[in-house]
Amino acid sequence: MVKIVGLGGSLRSQSYSASALKLAAMRVEALGAEVEILNLRDLKLPFCDGSDEYPDYPDVERMKNIVKEADGLILASPEYHGSVSGSLKNALDLMSFEHLSGKVTGLISVLGGQSNSNTLNDLRVIMRWVHAWVIPEQIAIGQAWKAFDSEGKLLDPKMSERFDKFAQSLVDNTAKLI
Ligand SMILES: Cc1cc2nc3c(=O)[nH]c(=O)nc-3n(C[C@H](O)[C@H](O)[C@H](O)COP(=O)(O)O)c2cc1C
């Protein structure tokens, strides 16, 4: 069975990127994959200082192990100042090739302003650097404050279809590579 881990890159309590990640995870699960979500808000992580180990922060090892065991990843980030959130970049910096290389990866970004691909493009470069396989399907949700209903469902049916295609591609391509 394909194992996918979702990393949510917002520390905000009512995070739209966390909602988007949850929706993507549900679709991936419906296709028969096993999914685990790690929201960075729930982990106690230090800033990366280049060390291999962080004995005072057991969540570093926990995150590394969970990601290492995965076949594929979903990275969901808010757009902060035109790019990936510092917390998601830091979490990726705490890991290395051993954990990230070879993972089939789907990218989601959530923005307060108009939808664009800045965060997605930057994440694509980062993930190529660690030799992950980033799928071409990607999702940017602009003006996220009006994209979801009160239950966290997407209001735009076209965006919902995009999630279907994203999930299908992630599961299919992960299954091909494992
Ligand atoms: C520090 C900071 C920088 C931001 N920069 C951008 C930006 O460059 N472009 C944009 O459209 N929205 C920007 N926003 C708005 C966030 O992308 C938006 O609030 C988003 O919903 C946050 O994600 P979250 O709901 O998952 O926490 C910024 C918000 C913060 C706090």
What pLDDT is attached to residue 20?
98
Instruction: Give the number of domains in the chain.
Output: 1
Nearest-angstrom CA–CA distance, 106 and 171 = 10
Question: Is residue 178 a contact partner of residue 5, using CB atoms and an 8 Å limit?
Answer: no
User: Measured from the CB, is residue 115 less than 6 Å from ligand 1?
Assistant: no
What sign has the CA pseudo-torsion 117, 123, 124, 126?
A: positive
pLDDT given at position 83: 98
Domain of residue 28, CATH code: 3.40.50.360
Chunked mean pLDDT (size 10), the chain, 178 residues: 97 97 98 98 98 97 98 98 98 98 98 98 98 98 97 96 98 96
- Contact present, 79 and 114 (Cβ < 8 Å): no
What mean pLDDT value characterizes the chain? 98
Give the residue numbers spanning the domain of 100.
Answer: 3-177
Ligand 1 neighbourhood includes 112 CB (under 6 angstroms): yes
CA 107–ligand 1 middle distance (angstroms): 16
Q: How far apart are CA 18 and CA 77, in angstroms?
A: 8
Q: Which two tokens stand for residue 23?
A: 């929706």
Burial profile 53-87: b = 16 or more Cβ within 10 angstroms, e = fewer: ebeeeebbeebbeebeebbbbbbbbbbbeebbbeb
Please give the structure tokens belonging to residue 157: 């049916």
> Which pLDDT score, from 0 to 100, does residue 160 have?
97
DSSP 37: E
Q: What is the pLDDT of residue 138?
A: 98
Place of tokens 């830091």: 90
For the Cβ of 122 lying below 6 angstroms from any atom of ligand 1, the answer is no
E-only strand ranges, the chain:
3-8, 34-39, 72-80, 83-84, 104-110, 133-141
88 lines ligand 1 (CB under 6 A): no
Structural contact between residues 68 and 98, judged by C-beta atoms closer than 8 angstroms = yes
Q: What is the pTM of this model?
A: 0.98
What is the pLDDT, as a whole number, of residue 150? 92
